Amino acid sequence: MSNSIIHDPKKHPVCAPFYGEQGVAYTRIFKPSLIGGLWAETDESGCTLAEHLLQSDEGSPGNPFHGNAQQVAKATRLRLVRSKKCYTAIRKHMECPAFRQALAAPGIQGYGLAALALADSWYGIQGGNLKLENQNSEWQSTKLAQFGINPNSVRLLDQHLQTLNSERPVGQTLCDNAVGARFLACLTFPDSIIQATASFLQVSCPCPFGPK
């Protein structure tokens, strides 16, 4: 499995390699690790390779290019470079000869999003009614607390929800609004934290209109 192998960062600089096991080894371990590692590479536009694979970088459907013709042309070139770098990272870290051969097909070679879509189709989870029921249960039980308290917690939560949604069978994936609503519903805090925060605010920021 891709989470039990020895990782040589010189050969696989982004994350541990993947050897072709279908299911959670791909959707829960390799793919999140790959995208997580690609947050570290940012180009002069400020976009990361991870954002390209998540389709949130400049030039993605929800984030169109802005500026004059020269600026748009430059932004287009930068996005193409991001695409090629993502493709290279996927190919380098997926140690599967047949899959690498498939990556050479026209329309896929050199394109990161196409390569990721191919990997999803090869190694993603194949579902059924029982699996969908389990996926629904996990979707509803996800909480921010699962990811600890650190600067990356919210990002990890969002990535986890995107992963869960991508694992759902064709025709059962949720729209962006539904994913966003579930994300917001996960942003809850224990009563003890709320009470402690309220007490701190009362001590450090007393109401200026209260009794003196």
Whether the CB-CB separation of 119 and 89 falls below 8 Å is answered with: no
Task: Mark whether 6 and 89 lie in a shared domain.
Answer: yes
Per-residue confidence band for 132, with pLDDT thresholds at 50, 70 and 90: confident
% of the chain surpassing 90 pLDDT: 56
Domain boundary, last residue among 124, 157, 179? 124
Task: Mark whether 96 and 194 lie in a shared domain.
Answer: no
Whether the CB-CB separation of 82 and 110 falls below 8 Å is answered with: no
Question: Mean pLDDT across the stretch 132-147?
Answer: 85
107-116 tens-digit pLDDT: 999 999 999 9
- Which stretch of DSSP H or E encloses residue 134? helix 129-141
Radius of gyration of the chain (CA): 21
**DSSP-based three-state secondary structure for 26:** helix
Nearest to 161 by CA among 142, 146, 177: 142
Domain enclosing residue 203, as ranges: 128-212
**CB-based contacts of 85, cutoff 8 Å, min separation 6:** 41, 49, 112
Task: Mark whether 17 and 75 lie in a shared domain.
Answer: yes
62-104 tens-digit pLDDT: 999 999 999 999 999 999 999 999 999 999 999 999 999 999 9
Q: How far is CA 114 from the centre of its chain?
A: 16
Q: How far is CA 153 from the centre of its chain?
A: 13
Task: Give the C-alpha separation, 166 to 173, whole Å.
Answer: 7
- In angstroms, the Cα distances linking 65 to 21, 71, 81, 134, 186 are 38, 8, 15, 40, 32
Task: Mark whether 66 and 83 lie in a shared domain.
Answer: yes
Task: Mark whether 101 and 133 lie in a shared domain.
Answer: no
157-207 tens-digit pLDDT: 998 999 888 888 777 888 989 899 999 888 876 666 556 656 666 655 554
